[in-house]
Structure 1
Amino acid sequence: MSKKSFVKKMADEQVILYRERQHFRQFWLWVVVLGVASIFWVGFVYQVLLGGQYGNRPVSDVQLSILFVLVGLGLPYFFYRMSLTTEVRPGVVQVRFWPFHVKPREIPLHLVRDYEQVVYNPIGDYGGWGIRWGFKGKAYNMSGNEGVKLYFYNRKPLLIGSQRAGELFRALTEAKKGGR
């Protein structure tokens, strides 16, 4: 590889054509998460801070304090921090579903046969939101019902959910032209 082509390759890898970070923002999800967490908040306040006994067979104050930290504080924090980051660069799309992906999953666009902007049914087609597997392939989605579906030469399709599906589609078109 010549020095000139190496420099061009390095410059292409630095160009971000599209970037989107999504979080879980569904009201019903937060009702469930905070509802479960509130059970531990009430138990902690009543038993540890006020000195009562919470429940028919109360656990020790130490055990309840640990559960309060893990479930009462940790569960809402976990859902608050969870994110889906999508980046499109020349010749590649990267998807990272934090905290499950330590490093972004790279999808070289030369492996993508075709792609389309879609409106889908998250529950009916993939069983919900998150990292999902279904009969229609794999999906990375956080909320909503729009995205871009990638079709490959040698595996099932991949859906990338997006709040800005049109922009993602256009960035993929530009990135595929750029090649890698």
Structure 2
Amino acid sequence: MKSAFTEVQKFNQWWLWILLLAVLGLPVYGMFQQIILGEPFGSTPMSDLGLVLFFVGTLLIIGLVWYLELRT
């Protein structure tokens, strides 16, 4: 049986991407402060490798949201 209706929705709301970019700003600022400026980020700083992995993980989550779509 052939379907009469199909729809594809992406997560492209402006407020969602502003929120995701704001979340991405945290590891970017932390890496800048700790790796570039040489000052610890926070009262109990994460290692440099931990900050880089946090940044990569955040990028992967944002990439997943970019890739996801709802098909009906």
The offset of 1:16, in angstroms, is 5.2
Structure that is richer in strand per residue: 1
Pairwise CA RMSD: 1.9
The offset of 1:75, in angstroms, is 2.5
% identical equivalent positions: 32
The offset of 1:52, in angstroms, is 2.8
Gaps of 5+ in 1: 1-11, 87-180
Structure number with greater Rg is: 1
| Residue matched to 2:70 | 84
Distance 1:18 1:49, change over 3 A: farther
Gaps of 5+ in 2: none
Q: Could you tell me the TM-score, scaled by structure 1's length?
A: 0.35
Alignment length, in residue pairs?
Answer: 72
| Residue matched to 2:32 | 45
For the Cα contact (< 8 Å) 1:19–1:85, is it kept in 2?
Answer: yes
Equivalent position SS for 2:42: coil
Structure that is richer in helix per residue: 2
- The residue type paired with residue 57 of structure 1 is T
| Residue matched to 1:74 | 60
Runs of 4+ in 1 over 3 A off after TM superposition: 15-18
Q: Could you tell me the TM-score, scaled by structure 2's length?
A: 0.77
- Distance, in Å, in 2 between the alignment partners of 1:16 and 1:63 is 48
Deviations along 1:125-173, one digit per CA (max 9) or x if unpaired, are: xxxxxxxxxxxxxxxxxxxxxxxxxxxxxxxxxxxxxxxxxxxxxxxxx
The yes-or-no answer on 1:35 pairing with 2:22 is yes
For the Cα contact (< 8 Å) 1:44–1:65, is it kept in 2?
Answer: yes
- Distance, in Å, in 2 between the alignment partners of 1:84 and 1:77 is 16
The offset of 1:82, in angstroms, is 1.7
